[in-house]
Amino acid sequence: MWAASVFTLYPEMFPGPLGASMSGTALTRGIWSLEAINIREHGLGRHRAVDDTPAGGGPGMVLRADVLAASLDAGVRAEDPRPRLLMSPRGAPLTQSMARAFAAGPGLVLVCGRFEGVDERVIEGRELIEVSIGDYILSGGEIAALTLLDACVRLLPGVMGKDQSGDEESFEGGLLEYPHYTRPRDFEGRSIPEALLSGDHARIARWRREQSEKLTRERRPDLWAKAAKE
């Protein structure tokens, strides 16, 4: 079973949307498991403090190294083979290939930061790998963790109706996905492209490839430049 452990100050946020649709069904069926661990259980003092002011001054608060380390040590065995990820805007960007690699493993340990960030010493001492879902700032790592988990869980065997459903999606071949159509044949003066109605599989494949290339050139020139080199 693919297992996810999430360390957070807000365990009530999980499973959230992951408890619905395909991921929720897969969770019920035991294809994957999810454990939300409350970091505050290892907080200090009567008020279970988990943060303190940043060394050197500055605004906000920082999640304490000793508190997070104690939570991780209690919740994850030292020999646990799962990657330990910290959701962070300064991390490596999440990609489809990264999601596939994570989905092929035993699961993930995810740490959701809050406040101004996490004490650098626990990142180093517990070998946390920083991962980002985009160039913007969220209130905490929980939404980012949900995003990463969704990207991985949908790739697990038995989650999608057909395993090949993910083979031609955006980013799988370095390009954006081609447009999709279904009934009715005509809608508000717009018709399904003739190529898709031809029954000619080679023509359909050629049309889809052309559309993927066109969309990628127009919308993601960075991806197009990379694909052109390969």
Kindly report the CATH number assigned to the domain that includes residue 74: 3.40.1280.10
Domain count within the chain: 2
Q: Is residue 23's pLDDT more than 90?
A: yes
Instruction: Specify whether 23 is located in the same domain as 76.
Output: yes
Instruction: Specify whether 64 is located in the same domain as 10.
Output: yes
Residue 97 lies in a domain: yes
Instruction: Tell the residue number behind the tokens 């920082």, with chain if given.
Output: 62
Return the H-helix or E-strand segment holding 229.
helix 221-229
Residue 44 lies in a domain: yes
Instruction: Specify whether 34 is located in the same domain as 134.
Output: yes
pLDDT tens per residue, range 96-147: 999 999 999 999 999 999 999 999 999 999 999 999 999 999 999 999 999 9
Residue 162 lies in a domain: no
Determine the pLDDT at residue 168.
61
Instruction: Specify whether 178 is located in the same domain as 217.
Output: yes
Residue 200 lies in a domain: yes
Distance CA 159, CA 156 (A): 6
Residue 184 lies in a domain: yes
Domain-terminating residue out of 124, 153, 182: 153
Residue 163 lies in a domain: no
Instruction: Specify whether 98 is located in the same domain as 210.
Output: no
Determine the pLDDT at residue 166.
55
Residue 158 lies in a domain: no
Q: What is the dihedral of CA 42, 45, 50, 53, to 10 degrees?
A: -150
Instruction: Specify whether 174 is located in the same domain as 198.
Output: yes
Instruction: Specify whether 11 is located in the same domain as 77.
Output: yes
The single-letter DSSP state of residue 173 is: T
